[in-house]
Amino acid sequence: MEKGSLILIDYTAKVKDSDEIFETTIEENAKKSNVYDPDIKYEPRLVSIGEGWVLKGLDEILTTAKIGDKLNVDIPPEKAFGMRDQNKVRMIPQRKFGDKADEIKAGDVVDIDDRRGFVRFIGSGRVQVDFNHRLAGKTLNYEVDVLKVLKTDEEKASSLVKRRFFVEGDKIVISLVKPELAITLPEEAFLIDGLQIIKKAVSADLFKFIPTIESVKFLEIYNKSKPTSKAKEEPKAKEEPKAKEEPKAKEEPKAKEEPRTQKK
């Protein structure tokens, strides 16, 4: 395939030695492992050939692939996440983690000194943090289905926008009337962290892969919320008039008791 071709692939990536799945685009495979996330939409991934959007070893394999190919390839560490570097393992005073110092445990991912690493162990008031990628030094195995090459500008635009915005794709409306592309975002996207940076990156992708586009317009539409209508109450059934009670018969006056005679 030519460099810059936009393709869709399905894949499942494993650590070769342990057969542990660490990434997949297929929901069924995710559920078989510990990587399943119900908040993720599992679907084919967009890749630009030769642009570094995937690991170097996988990128090289895709340049020689054809649509419909089912690949099973091993990727060595030097073309994956690199070899382990012992200099990237550091001991850090636990107090340096501030308010969260007592909450840290082995296996946690932490950000410190503008770097991300994972905690290997804690002891004697110090934390050992490994700034190597957790898959550094590992040979990886990829099972890949090469599904489709995107050819129309509409297909490319839709996939490029969905790649950056982590909202359901059918909620983003795209209208391409060359040389302008209009993107209408759903309200849930308005408060995304770094929204302006994402817009800039999407625009750059669109200009690069669809040269006929000269301007990109983002629309944010706020709809007036409709008052919730209360369900109409069913009319109450009319109560039947109560039957008039018959007047109680007057009680006969009790006869006066005769005074008892006293015994002599």
Return the CATH number at 186: 3.30.70.2210
Number of domains in the chain: 3
Is 190 found in the same domain as 174?
A: yes
Percentage of the chain with pLDDT > 70? 85
Say whether both 35 and 54 belong to one domain.
Answer: yes
Per-residue pLDDT at 180? 97
Q: Is residue 253 part of a domain?
A: no
Q: 249 in a domain, yes or no?
A: no
On whether the pTM is more than 0.85, the answer is: no
- Over residues 43-66, mean pLDDT: 95
Place of tokens 């929204």: 195
In this structure, the answer to whether residues 214 and 124 fall within a common structural domain is no
**Residue 229 resides in a domain:** no
* Residue among 80, 70, 76 nearest 144 (CA): 70
Residue 30 token pair: 């995710």
**What distance in Å separates the CA atoms of residue 115 and residue 208, rounded to the nearest whole number?**
31
CATH code of residue 122: 2.40.10.330
Is it the case that residue 246 has pLDDT exceeding 60? no
**CATH number of the domain that 54 lies in?**
3.10.50.40
Residue type, position 168, single letter: E
Q: What does the alpha-carbon distance between residue 107 and residue 90 come to, in Å, rounded to a whole number?
A: 15
The yes-or-no verdict on residue 105 having pLDDT over 70 is yes
Which structural domain, as residue segments, surrounds residue 163?
A: 152-224
Residue 192 in this model has a pLDDT that exceeds 90: no
Does 107 share its domain with 197? no
State how beta strands 215-220 and 140-149 pair.
Answer: unpaired
Provide the pLDDT confidence category of residue 8 given band limits of 50, 70 and 90. Answer: very high
Residue 54's pLDDT is 96
Residue 257 lies in a domain: no
Q: Is residue 16 part of a domain?
A: yes
